[in-house]
Structure 1
Amino acid sequence: MPEIALGALRENGSILLARRSAGRKMHPDRWSLPGGHVEDGEDAETAMRRELIEEIGVTPTRWQFAGKFVSEGLAGASAVFHVYSVDQWQGRPRLIDDEHTELRWFTAAAIQFEAELAPAQLGEMLAKLAIR
């Protein structure tokens, strides 16, 4: 089963989400956390750090494991999602490649009412992280 590592950048009660590009195979045009697949020989924590550098140009310097869940995708395909809460980093978040079209800070209320999340199970975890 594929493993995905995600980083939830937290600042002033908000969490940074990235809108997935419309051309993405899985969850196009939905909001998610920056991150990606755990590669062979890599643990989820290392993958999260690598993906944040590659996707949004930040290097996490302080984080903690927030939890994991299994999500089913198209045609019954499942993946394990590992989520890390990141409260310190170097660099300024920015779009680097075409995987995402927008970055935006969301409060817990905005996550609940405004963001179509991918995968859907992410919502409850993000709402808890935003209010910590």
Structure 2
Amino acid sequence: MGDTCKTEVVAHGGSLHVVAAGLLRRGGRGLLLHRVSTRAWYPDCWDLPGGHVQDGESPDAALCRELREELGVGAVIEGAPFTQVRGRDFRMDIWVVDTWVGEPANVEPTEHDALAWLNHEEMTALRLADARLPAIFEAALR
């Protein structure tokens, strides 16, 4: 079983960080990105694509922007998030994404150094950014 990154997340100014993430799903597999070891938050871990919601931006719009910036795809984000993960100082809304234009590629090599399409069993052996990811993967890939 993989371990979970232990890096502490520190809030800026004590505020809640809102994050939007997408579990791109294709052929019984989901896409994970490996965060470079120099990242301030959760370095050297596998995580879902996505990122921080900017001021005045909705979480679904943030996810569309992040998927375009990180993967070079135009995603269709529909409905409410599939699930939500909360931490002491963050909330991550996660959508399952089945429709996008373009082939996902690592277009942000300063943030990620690898991407992989994985099934639930394969991803559980990895060092993950959050211990809740295997359960989310399992539910979304059913």
Same fold (TM over 0.5): yes
Q: In structure 2, do the counterparts of structure 1 residues 17 and 111 end up closer, same or farther at CA, with 3 Å as the change threshold?
A: same
The CA deviation string for residues 30-65 of structure 1, in whole angstroms up to 9 with x for no partner, is 000110000001111111111000011011125452
How many matched pairs? 125
Q: Contact 1:71–1:121 (CA<8 Å) still a contact in 2?
A: no
Identity %: 34
RMSD: 1.3
Q: Contact 2:73–2:101 (CA<8 Å) still a contact in 1?
A: yes
SS of aligned partner of 1:54:
helix
Letter in structure 2 aligned against 1:102: A
In the alignment, structure 1 residue 106 sits paired with structure 2 residue 99: no
Q: Contact 1:63–1:87 (CA<8 Å) still a contact in 2?
A: no
Output the CA distance in 2 between the equivalents of 1:48 and 1:79: 16
Output the CA distance in 1 between the equivalents of 2:66 and 2:48: 11
In the alignment, structure 1 residue 84 sits paired with structure 2 residue 100: no
Moved over 6 A (4+): none
Partner residue of 1:71? 87
In the alignment, structure 1 residue 41 sits paired with structure 2 residue 33: no
**TM-score under structure 1 length normalisation:** 0.89
The structure with more radius of gyration: 2
**TM-score under structure 2 length normalisation:** 0.83
Flag the structure with higher helix content.
1
Could you tell me which runs of 5 or more consecutive residues in structure 2 were left unpaired when the two chains were aligned.
Answer: 1-15
Partner residue of 2:67? 52
Flag the structure with higher strand content.
1
